[in-house]
Amino acid sequence: MIGKRTLLVSLIGGTIFLGSSRARSLSPKRIWRGFNFIQTPTAPLESDAATRSLAALRKTGADVTALIPFFWQAKPDSADVVGGSDMSHGQLRAGIRAAHRAGLKVMVKPHIWVPTAWAGVIGMTDEAAWTAWFGNFQRELEAVAHIAEQEQAEWLCIGTEFLKTVHRPEWLRVITSVRRIFQRSILYMAHGAEEVEAVPFWAKLDLVGVTLYPPLGADDDPQSWRRAMSAEYARVEAVAHKHGKQVWVGEIGIRSAEGAASKPWESAEERVAEPAPALQADVLSAWLDVLDRPSVAGILIWRWLSDPDGGGAADTDFTVQNKAAEAAITKLWLRNGTKAR
């Protein structure tokens, strides 16, 4: 016993990883793999349509999914974080149950929606506003944590890409509070290697989490993609090794659109482009190959919709359903097989 927490030592490919006893559900033998599952208005998580979509997701060889309740704030410097209207607490509960029935493990992974912006620009203008922001955020997170605990979700992500917040001391209070509620693995998803290197509280968490969208180069240059992917992940892995943690890659993704490799983070709303389903399939396949490493605990692809008819060849967004990417991922994952944990 070291302090109040037992350390678990795993020998993985010659590397020693020290993790909390809360993270024992993670196996070093194979990477958890799956998709971020997004509720659509036409297929709420309690619906038969969402159940069919989860079954299709499972058939790819996935064994985990992330459910994403959105919090909301009016602008980047607004402290009034509130629960969003996209997913009720009842729907989150129903989604966890449905995913478990489908044979999937579950990560609950809240995001904050900021109109016309993204979570990485959230930042307050004074100390009073920071205190208010963290108080409101913690309230919403604790409500989600209670549901995740009651429904026995396997992982809880306490934040995603809050780049300008991670220097704040309030995070230690948030982590302590969530630990009292949620009894399994908790993590934070940093935005790329740069934020991973800036986060000061990895030692308090069970895993190093990251979303990966580095610029990859030209659409027709797969060697450039792999160099960019490997360089980005090497920086993340170095931080993980320093803290004795494994890495959970919470998002890899790219639109099925021409020109997407140069800016994989770019949304369909930002740029109109012709469909490029083969590009999406090839980039995601390259990512899965590059990330096939002992330091990786899990990978979640962005994204899969609760609408089972989502995506399709003409769609140019991130969704992989009913596209070449779904077929390519399924081939890779089923070829690798499923080992009992």
Q: Which amino acid is at 3?
A: G
pTM of the model: 0.90
Tokens of 315: 């769609």
Task: Decide: 208 and 247 in contact? Cβ < 8 Å.
Answer: yes
Count of Cβ atoms closer than 10 Å to residue 171 Cβ: 22
What does R_g of the chain's alpha carbons equal in angstroms?
A: 19
State residue 116's pLDDT score.
86
Residue 45 near residue 90, CB atoms below 8 Å: no
Alpha-carbon distances of 171 from 15, 27, 77, rounded to whole Å: 29, 28, 18
Which is it for strands 111-113 and 155-160: parallel, antiparallel or unpaired? unpaired
Arithmetic mean of pLDDT, 100-127:
96
pLDDT of residue 93: 98
Give tens-digit pLDDT for 42-55.
999 999 999 999 99
**How high is the pLDDT of residue 337?**
66
Q: How would residue 203 be classed by pLDDT, with cut points 50, 70 and 90?
A: very high
Query: How confident is the model at residue 12, as a pLDDT?
Result: 31
Residues 6+ apart with CB under 8 A from 90: 46
Lowest mean pLDDT among 13-17, 93-97, 170-174: 13-17
The pLDDT of residue 339: 40
Q: Provide the 8-state DSSP code for 164.
A: G
Q: Two tokens at 308?
A: 């089972």
Other Cβ atoms closer than 10 A to 14: 6
Separation between Cα atoms, residue 252 and residue 263, nearest integer Å? 13
Output the CA torsion sign for 156, 162, 164, 165. negative
Are 140 and 73 spatial neighbours (Cβ–Cβ below 8 Å)?
A: no
Query: Strand runs (DSSP E) across the chain, as ranges?
Result: 7-12, 15-20, 32-38, 64-67, 70-72, 82-83, 105-108, 111-113, 155-160, 185-191, 207-212, 247-252, 296-305
> How do residues 2-26 score in pLDDT, each as one tens digit?
232 222 223 233 333 333 334 434 3
Domains delineated in the chain = 7-336 (3.20.20.80)
DSSP class per residue in 193-207: HHHHHH-S-GGGSSE
For tokens 């300008």, the residue is: 164
Lateral strand order in the sheet of 111-113: 82-83, 70-72, 111-113
